[in-house]
Amino acid sequence: MTTTFKKHWSDYKYNDNMLQDALIKHVMDLMPYRMSDEGEVLEVIMNIKESDEQSWISAWSNMAAHLQNRAHHFEKDGKKISASSSYLRASTYWRVALMYFGDWEDPRMKDYSQRSQDCYDRSLELSGYPGEAIKIPYENTYLPGHFYRSPYVKDEKAPLLIVVPGRDTWADDTIWVTDAAIKRGINALTFDGPGQGMALRLQNLKFRPDFENVLGPVIDFAQGLDEVDDNRIGAMGMSFGGFLVPRAVAFDNRLKFIISDPGNMNWGGMIAGRLEKALKMPAIIRPKMIDFVLKDYEWKHGATDKTIINELQKYNNTDIVDNIKTKTLVLDGSAEVTHGAAKKFYDALSCPKDYMLFDENSTAQQHTQMGGYATGTEYIMNWIEDNI
């Protein structure tokens, strides 16, 4: 059955700044998971100047502080559920304030990161939601994350879905996937790896191309959990994570399946090509958004104007795609910003594989099903249930 709509919501823009528009749509779509509220988000949007970093930071952080203060008073009065609800949304807004924040030396970077984590964990404690903070041993430090025990597990051990976030959002933003998993009797684990979320902002860990050395310790940790069936562990990579996870399983075949959302075989080459054009523009005339994105890539990859292109070109799975033996689901969207990349990756795979395209009729056609998380989880989780 197809719809008769001539216009599609993915053409609508809250903001002409592509990154800010995407982040706003992401936050709007967290409402079903009680992580945002429409009036609050619209209130923030009303106070943002397009491509203006400081107005972005101030608007989101002011709303976050307002809710955190409200939650504190609720908790003091013994209203645990109300406190949990406000803490959860405050956590979201603290994180979003940092998603368009280019000065990593600014003390607010660590302050807001810690506030986000504290609010999120306090919300879990007060609400009784089946999740807990974890620290995954990693080299000489750890990776911060959360483990979610499904309350619907029938056996002593249950399957596990590991969720790997992308370049801009954080592990806690993948709740739409983890919540859907635990409702189906599947435990879930998510974490911030190098270059992501808390690991970047509180530990200064930068992205690395050899992601098998990141996901490997996570699998080790997962296999040590009493609740997990070691033979039924899968991983889903979101956005940039959708590139990193296939890289990891090319060198580590312990997972039963992976999901690449969306598929991309040469992510680094694609981004490097775009940034090369930006670097040729004099800094004084570069659009604010492009200048911000350039600085953001350099920061997260530990690079400079002179080294960022070479660094990004290391993120290319073309030569190792034949090493992937793990069953793979490649996701795609008709409004994907990386149009054509997912199908190219799918066609190159020689392992057991499936391809899933979200078109305009699904309303989940944007990058990583953004704006269509409910629809996305229905189809994705159906596939997981059939393959776990």
At residue 321's C-alpha, the angle toward residues 320 and 326, to 5°, is: 115
Q: What are phi and psi of 378, to 5 degrees?
A: -60, -50
- Comparing CA positions, the residue from 363, 348, 357 lying closest to residue 383 is 357
Statement: residue 281 has pLDDT above 70: yes
Predicted local distance difference test score (pLDDT) of residue 357: 97
Of the candidates 300, 182, 283, 306, the one whose C-alpha atom is nearest the C-alpha of residue 239 is 300
Q: Range with the lowest mean pLDDT among 18-27, 143-152, 307-316?
A: 18-27
Q: Which CATH superfamily is domain 132-265+317-388 in?
A: Alpha/Beta hydrolase fold, catalytic domain (3.40.50.1820)
Tell me the CA distances in angstroms from 256 to 38, 88, 181, 320, one per residue in order.
38, 33, 16, 19
pLDDT at 256 over 70: yes
CATH label, 16-129, candidates 1.20.1440.110, 3.30.420.40, 3.20.20.70, 3.40.50.10800: 1.20.1440.110
Residues whose CB falls within 8 Å of the CB of residue 323, separated by 6 or more in sequence, listed in order:
250, 251
> What is the arithmetic mean of pLDDT over 182-211?
97
Q: Tell me if residue 168 falls in helix, strand or coil.
A: coil
> To the nearest whole percent, how much of the chain has pLDDT over 90?
85
What are the structure tokens assigned to 373, written together? 């998380």
Mean pLDDT of 369-378: 95
Report pLDDT for 1: 43
CA dihedral in degrees (17, 18, 21, 22; nearest 10)? -160
pLDDT band at 151 (very low <50, low <70, confident <90, very high): very high
Q: Please provide the size of the chain in residues.
A: 388
The 10s digit of each residue's pLDDT in 25-71 is 999 999 999 999 999 999 999 999 988 999 999 999 999 999 999 99
Helices (H), 98-133: 108-127
Is residue 348's pLDDT more than 60?
Answer: yes
Q: In the prediction, which pLDDT does 277 show?
A: 84
In this structure, are residues 195 and 205 in contact, taking their beta carbons and an 8 Å threshold?
yes
pLDDT at 285 over 90: no
Which tens digits make up the pLDDT trace of 98-135? 999 988 899 999 999 999 999 999 999 999 999 999 99
Least confident of 16-25, 124-133, 240-249, 284-293: 284-293
Query: What pLDDT score does 199 carry?
Result: 97
pLDDT above 70 covers a percentage of the chain that reads: 99
The pLDDT of 260-266, averaged and rounded, is: 96
Band the pLDDT of 3: cuts 50, 70, 90: low
CA distance 275 to 311: 12
pLDDT of residue 6: 82
Contact between residue 71 and residue 86 where contact means Cβ atoms under 8 Å apart: yes
| Rounded distance between C-alpha atoms, residue 123 and residue 133, angstroms | 12
Q: Please give the model's pTM, rounded to 2 decimal places.
A: 0.95
Find, among 233, 241, 189, 232, the residue nearest to 211 by Cα.
241
User: What local confidence, expressed as pLDDT, does residue 4 receive?
Assistant: 67
Assess contact for 91 and 123: CB atoms under 8 A: yes
pLDDT given at position 2: 56
Q: Is the peptide bond before 262 cis (omega within 30 degrees of 0)?
A: yes
Name the token pair of 227: 């609740």
All structural domains of the chain with their residue ranges = 16-129, 132-265+317-388
Per-residue pLDDT, averaged over 285-314, amounts to 90
Average pLDDT in the chain: 95
